[in-house]
Structure 1
Amino acid sequence: MPSHLSADRPAAQPPPRGPVDALISQARRLKGDVDAVRRGTPADTADPTERWRRALYDLALHQLDDLDQHLAQLREHPPAVPGPSGTPAAASVPRHGSLLSRVGSAEWNLLTDEVSWSAELYRILGRDTALPPLTLDELPSLVVEEDRPSLTAMVTGCLVDGRPIDGEFRVLRPDDGVRTVHMMGEPALGADGSTASMWAVLRDVSELRRRRRAVRETRDSLHRHRKATARTGHRLADGPREAVPPPWRGSLRLPPDGPPALDIAAAHLPSSAHAPAGGAWYDALELPDGTTLLGVGDLTGHGSGDASGTAMLLGAMRGMAMTGTEPGPLLACLSRLLDAGAQPALGSALCLRYRSATRTLVWAQAGHPAPLLFRGGRGRALEAPRGVPLGAAPDPSYGQADETLEAGDLLLLHTDWLVPGHAGATAAERLLTLAPRLAEAGSAQDCVRTVIRECGEEERAEHACVLVARVAS
C-alpha cells in the first residue's frame, strides 16, 4: 500500500517490463552463482568452518529466492488492495508459499474508525477471514505478551509523534505456533497536519530469522572450536603469534613531509578470554602515487597459522597497493590467495585508498563492517558495495564505492568484537552515538582513546582493532 504522507503525492507506478526483466535475470544469475559455490561445500561435515560457510550460503539463497519471486510477481501480478469495507479484496490472490503470500497490508482510519486488511495479512496473522480486521487497540491480542509493549510503543510513536514504524514482533497463530512478523508503516496526515490514518506493510520473516539463527549458531560453534584449538596448541602458537606486531604503533601523519593530509591513529584491543592474537589487523601506508592506503580486517585461520596468515595477507596487500591496484581487484586477489593456500582460511577486510589532492575515497569490503563517517557532530555508515568474505569463493569479484570527504571529516574503521556483545548494524549504532564526543576530540589519537574508554573495558571473546583517520583542515 503506498504511503499517504502527502495527499498530493501521485500513486507509485510499476516499472516498465524491460527493467524488471533485467533485474530478474541478474537476480537469477547471482542465485545460480551462489548455488554453484554452495554445492562445493560439504553438507554434512564435522568441520565447524564448513558448517558456518554452508549456513551462510543457505541464508543467501533463501534471500535471493525471495527476491526472485518478488520481482516475478511485480512483473506479472500487482498486489491486491483491501476492499473499502475492510474485507480482503478477491482479486489477485497470491499462490500459497510465494513471497507475496507472506506480505500483507493494512490501513487504520482514525477519522471513520474503518480498518482495511489485505487477504495476505489474515494469513500472516492466522486470523479467520470471516472475522472483521482488528483495530489498533485489538491488534496486541494476537501478539505474544513479551512483545506487546514494543508494538504499543511503535504504534504510539507513529500516531502521536508522526514517526515511521519499522520493527518486529511475534504472533501466536493457532495453526503453527509462533511466527515473527516485520512491520513497516507511516502516518497519513490530514489537511490540518494531524494524523488521519496509519498504513502498514507486514511481512512474515520467520524463515529468514530461523536461517539467521542457524548462521549465528554455526558461527558461535566455529569460535568455540577456534578457542579450543588455541588452548590445545597454545605453547606452539604463542611464539609465532607474538612475532607479528601491528604494522605500526602510535599515530601517523601522512604524508610525513609537508602539510599532513590525514591524522591517523589505531589500537589493538586484546581478548578478555586470553585467546591468542594474530587474526585482527590494521594498516596505513603512504603509496608512491601520493595516495594513502587504509585497511582493517580479521582472519580466521587454523591453529598457529593465524599469525603467519595475517603476515602474508598484510604483505600481499601492501605489495599490490604499491603497484597501484585498486581496492576491489586487490581484495579479489587476496581472496584467491587465501583460497589457494595449503590450509584455506576465511577472512573479512576493508581496503580504502584516499587521494588527498581531491579528498576522494575509493573503497571495497569483503564481508566486513562498513566504515563510519563522522561530520559536523553526526555520523553514518557508508553504503557498502558488494563483497563476500575472503576465501569464500574460488573466483570472487568485489564492487567499489566512492566518497568525497571534507576538511575535518573523520573515518572510523573497526573489526568485529570491538563492541562486545554487538556485531554488524548494532555495533555501528553504538559507535555512532560517540559522534558528539569524537567531534570534540583534538586528534585522531584522542578519538581512539574515546572509543577505548567506551568499549575497551568490557569483556570480549576475540581480539579487535579500531583505526581512526581525520582529514586535515
Structure 2
Amino acid sequence: MPPHVSADRSPAQPPRGGSVDALISQARRLRGEVDAVRRDAEGDASDPRGRWERALCDLALRQLNDLDEHLAQLRDGPPPVPAAPAAEPGTPAVPSRGPLLSRVGSAEWNLLTDEAAWSGELFLILGRDPAVPPLTLDELPSVVLEEDRPRLTAMVTDCLVDARPIDGEFRIVRPDGAVRAVHMMGEPVLDADGGTTSMWAVLRDVSELRLSQSAVRETRDSLHRHRRRTQTEHRLAVEPQEAALPPWRGSLRLPRRGRPRLDLAAHHLPSPTGTPIGADWYDALELSDGDTLLSVGGLTGRGPGVASGTALLLGALRGMAMAGARPGQLMTWLDQLLDATVQPALGSAVCCRYRPATRTLTWARAGHPAPLLFRGGTGRILDAPDGVLLGAAPGASYGQAEETLETGDLLLLHTDGLVPRRESARSSAAETEGSTATAHRLLDLAPRFAAARRAQECVRTVVEEFGGTGREDDACVLVARVTS
C-alpha cells in the first residue's frame, strides 16, 4: 500500500525490532498463564459458572493469539501481495484455501483514479481471488450483507465528506456462502490543500472473536438464571421451614406455670456446603394438660417440596399431641400420614412427652437416634423402643419407653446431620453396640455440660463442636435441663 499523509499527523515511525520482540515474549507468556487457568477451569459441563469461566478464558486466548500475530506482522513488516497462481487457459482462478496467517488486511482507495490497492490478507479475508482486481469503493457494498450495507455507506460517506475516522463493523458474504464479521478502521488521506484524495483502512476478521463473546454472554446469562433459580428455590425452602420451626429463639422455660420446669434451648445448623436447605426440625410445645412435648426429626430430600412437607408433618404432630395422643400413637399416625400423601417421603423423628408432676419422660422414635441423658458429669444413650422410618413400612407399630428424670438431668435430642455421612456410615456398622459416631462425640461433652449453668450454654457447646465445615447436611439440636 503506498504511503500516505494522515489528515492530522505525519506517518508514525515503525518501532524498533527489540521492543516488539519483548512485547511478543510478554504476550506469549501471558497466553501460557491464561491457558493454565483454562485447563484448571475444566470440569462439569453442566455447571453454568464453569462454562462461563471457560468461555472467558477461550476469549482471552483468542485475543492473545491475535495479538501475537499482529505483533509478529508489525515486526516483520507487511508481506508481499501473493502472485496469482498460473492457470490453464479456460480455467477460472481459485482463491487460496490455506490457513490465514493473519486476520488483518489493509486497503487504500484512490478517489482521483478510482483505483484500489489491497493487501494479500484482505483478499483472503473477503475470499477474493488475488488475480481479480480489488473492489472499488462503489463495488465494496456488493460483498456486504444486505442489511449491513447502509451502515457501511454511512461510515464511508462520513469519512469522505466530513473527514471523520471510520470505526465500525459489518458482515460480508464470501463467495463460498460463509458470512464473516469484519471490523473496519480508516481515515481520509488529504492533499496539501486539505482535499480528500483517498481513503485507507485496516480490516480485521472478528468472526471468531464475536463467537467467543457470544459464548461468554450466553454462559453469563445462564449463570445469572441459575443464580436466580437457586435463590428462588432457597427462599421457597427457607420460608416454610422458618414457619415450621417454633417462634422462640434462644432459651425457653416450660411449663410456664408450676414446677419443676424444663430449661430449654435449641439451634438449627444450616448446611455448610451451600447445598439447598434440608428438612430437619425441632419443637418444644406446652400441652393443654401441663405436659411438655419435645421433638426433633426430618424428611429425606431437599428443596421447597420437602420443606413444605416438613411444615405439614410438624403441624400434624402438634395438633395430635394437643389432642392427647401419646408418643407411640403419634408415630403411628405420622407414618400413616406420610403414606397417604401425594408425594410419599421417608422421615425420621423422636417424640418425648414430659410430665413435670412425676418427672416422667415418655418417648418414641421412628428410625431416629435415641435421646442422650446426662447426669452427674456422664452421659448415656437411652434404650430405644422399636420404630422404623416413617413411610417405610405401611401399618408399622411403634413402641414407647419411659424414663424418670431427676433435678439437674440434661436431655439432648439431635438429628443425624451433625457429622459427615462417612462417619455416620461407619457408626451404622456399630449400631448393635448401642452408639453412633455422633452420640460418642456428644457423650464426650458430658463434663462441659455438667459445668454449664443453662441449657443455652450446652447448645453453644454443641455448635462449637459440630458447627464447622466437615458436615454435609443441616442439623438440629435441642437441650432440656430439669430445674428445681
TM-score, L = length of structure 1: 0.50
> If you compute each CA radius of gyration, which structure gives the higher value, 1 or 2?
2
TM-score, L = length of structure 2: 0.49
